């Protein structure tokens, strides 16, 4: 099936969103920028909030963001429809004293962040991006252009490279970014100059990650494929963002909410991760603004839903045996409903039924994902959110290949289909 003009336009917009989001901090800021342009007000966590019926508001906490639309007829016990996703992706993070090098090369000292497919990061131009915290306590975002590369050893120097490529996680993962002597170079100065041009001497701390510099692109027969870095999980963040931008709220019976968490790739147990208090705090402050007492708060939560969206595995033609023999979601055949008996995904029968209803309302075909019993199952923010808040939760996403590669592969049509399902979830 050919990708429609609308699906191609959505994929283009996603490619721009991913390019603007080389780090979780940038992703949260880009969500805020776009929603502010759509009439949302950005709130400060340290200031008093005024939340009223009709409000379109958001709050950024570092690399996480929550945004919501309170319908005009909202009351103290109006429930929430929360679309959840995560802003971080596997890769590398700058170590302290990151300007290193040997043998005439400048290198960057990096730690491995999450579980990247290390081989996929070889021979790509990489950016550095994240935040610098200055001597006055303020932080600024910064992102370089293509600056680094992890060059693979030539086949002539390792004749067995095609039999067993294994990278030493310390000695063979330090990218090059120039020529010269580390003693007379300063990687932080490069980062300072790439942002709002701050004096590098003012940098007191930094959270800086690597990002593939290449732009997302549609390709394949009938434009079936979309390749990009960070589809996990910016494809979901973007799907929810586009749905919230377009959400008409006048007569909705719930508070449409987009919750984007950081640190999913390292377990979510942080103040900006799904296991932290961020979403619960925001929900409570919205409820307090609407005048809710404790019972009204709990009644609203009991009637709320969370759709947790993260990428899942499409069947791979070269490794079909890794998948369930019957349930084999395929790129381009729609978003997936993720199911796991051991609750690595939060989906249950009620969640499955609700999800199918939202997909039907959106005119979207959904597929199912379940693991092969002999292959361990991943997990995501859904079970964590359900455990923390007690809100009914369903795990969904788009099927992809090359998960945790520097450049992942999605089905073009699925990207728009997920966003349409998110819109139907916000609408009803």
Check: CB of residue 192 under 8 Å from CB of residue 142.
yes
Chain residues binding Zn ion by CB under 5 A are 232-233, 310
| Closest CB 383 distance from Zn ion, rounded Å | 13
Nearest residue to 406 via CA among 24, 4, 92: 92
Q: CA-to-CA distance for 150 and 311, rounded, in angstroms?
A: 26
Check: CB of residue 110 under 8 Å from CB of residue 208.
no
| Closest CB 89 distance from Zn ion, rounded Å | 8
| Closest CB 150 distance from Zn ion, rounded Å | 22
N-to-C CA span, the chain: 29
Burial of 234 (0-12, 13-18, 19+ CB in 10 A): buried
| Closest CB 27 distance from Zn ion, rounded Å | 13
- Which CB atom, from 118 or from 132, has the smaller least distance to Zn ion? 118
- Which CB atom, from 63 or from 71, has the smaller least distance to Zn ion? 63
| Strand partners of residue 141 | 131
Q: Phi/psi of residue 249, each to 5°?
A: -110, -5
Nearest residue to 36 via CA among 64, 67, 10: 67
- Which CB atom, from 77 or from 233, has the smaller least distance to Zn ion? 233
- Which CB atom, from 108 or from 237, has the smaller least distance to Zn ion? 237
Nearest residue to 108 via CA among 187, 161, 169: 187
- Which CB atom, from 109 or from 273, has the smaller least distance to Zn ion? 273
Check: CB of residue 35 under 8 Å from CB of residue 256.
no
101-132: b (≥16 Cβ within 10 Å) or e: beeebbbbbbeebbebebebbbebebbbbbbb
- Which CB atom, from 89 or from 333, has the smaller least distance to Zn ion? 89
Sequence-ordered list of residues with C-beta below 8 angstroms from that of 37, at least 6 positions apart, any chain: none
| Closest CB 113 distance from Zn ion, rounded Å | 13
- Which CB atom, from 93 or from 249, has the smaller least distance to Zn ion? 93
- Which CB atom, from 30 or from 190, has the smaller least distance to Zn ion? 30
| Closest CB 260 distance from Zn ion, rounded Å | 12
- Which CB atom, from 187 or from 403, has the smaller least distance to Zn ion? 403
| Closest CB 20 distance from Zn ion, rounded Å | 19
| Closest CB 11 distance from Zn ion, rounded Å | 19
Q: In the β-sheet with 139-143, what is the strand arrangement from edge to edge?
A: 139-143, 126-134, 203-212, 91-102, 105-113, 176-179
Q: CA-to-CA distance for 192 and 204, rounded, in angstroms?
A: 12
| Closest CB 63 distance from Zn ion, rounded Å | 14
- Which CB atom, from 255 or from 381, has the smaller least distance to Zn ion? 381
- Which CB atom, from 13 or from 310, has the smaller least distance to Zn ion? 310
Sequence-ordered list of residues with C-beta below 8 angstroms from that of 295, at least 6 positions apart, any chain: none
| Closest CB 53 distance from Zn ion, rounded Å | 34
C-alpha torsion angle, residues 290, 293, 299, 304 (rounded to 10): 30
Q: Which residue has the tokens 């070269």?
A: 318
Q: Which two tokens stand for residue 380?
A: 């995501």
| Closest CB 397 distance from Zn ion, rounded Å | 8
Check: CB of residue 332 under 8 Å from CB of residue 411.
yes
Question: Cis omega before residue 233 (within 30°)?
Answer: yes
């Amino acid at each position: 099936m050919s990708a429609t003009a609308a699906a191609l336009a959505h994929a283009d917009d996603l490619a721009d969103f991913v390019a603007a989001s080389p780090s979780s901090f940038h992703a949260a800021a880009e969500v805020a920028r776009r929603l502010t342009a759509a009439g949302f007000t950005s709130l400060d966590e340290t200031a008093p909030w005024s939340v009223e019926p009709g409000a379109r508001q958001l709050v950024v906490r570092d690399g996480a963001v929550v945004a919501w639309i309170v319908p005009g007829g909202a009351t103290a016990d109006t429930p929430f429809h929360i679309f959840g996703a995560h802003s971080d992706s596997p890769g590398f993070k700058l170590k302290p004293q990151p300007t290193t090098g040997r043998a005439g090369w400048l290198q960057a000292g990096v730690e491995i962040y999450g579980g990247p497919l290390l081989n996929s990061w070889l021979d790509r131009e990489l950016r550095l991006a994240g935040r610098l915290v200055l001597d006055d306590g303020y932080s600024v975002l910064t992102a370089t252009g293509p600056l680094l590369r992890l060059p693979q050893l030539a086949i002539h120097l390792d004749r067995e490279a095609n039999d067993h490529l294994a990278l030493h996680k310390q000695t063979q993962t330090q990218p090059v970014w120039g020529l010269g002597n580390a003693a007379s170079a300063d990687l932080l100065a490069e980062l300072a100059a790439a942002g709002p041009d701050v004096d590098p001497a003012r940098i007191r701390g930094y959270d800086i990650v690597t990002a593939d510099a290449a732009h997302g692109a549609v390709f394949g027969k009938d434009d079936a494929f979309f390749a990009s870095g960070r589809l996990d999980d910016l494809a979901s963040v973007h799907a929810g963002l586009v749905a919230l931008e377009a959400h008409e709220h006048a007569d909705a019976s719930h508070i449409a909410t987009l919750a984007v968490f950081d640190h999913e790739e390292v377990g979510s147990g942080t103040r900006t991760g799904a296991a932290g208090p961020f979403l619960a705090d925001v929900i409570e402050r919205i409820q307090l603004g609407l005048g809710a007492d404790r019972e009204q708060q709990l009644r609203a939560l009991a009637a709320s839903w969370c759709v947790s969206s993260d990428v899942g595995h499409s069947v791979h033609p070269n490794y079909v045996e890794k998948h369930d023999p019957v349930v084999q979601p395929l790129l381009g055949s729609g978003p997936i409903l993720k199911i796991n008996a051991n609750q690595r995904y939060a989906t249950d029968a009620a969640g499955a039924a609700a999800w199918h209803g939202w997909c039907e309302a959106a005119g979207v075909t959904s597929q199912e994902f379940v693991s092969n019993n002999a292959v361990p199952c991943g997990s995501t923010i859904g079970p964590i959110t359900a455990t923390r808040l007690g809100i009914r939760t369903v795990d969904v996403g788009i099927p992809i290949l090359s998960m945790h590669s520097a450049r992942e592969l999605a089905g073009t049509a699925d990207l728009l289909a997920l966003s349409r399902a998110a819109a139907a979830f916000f609408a009803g």
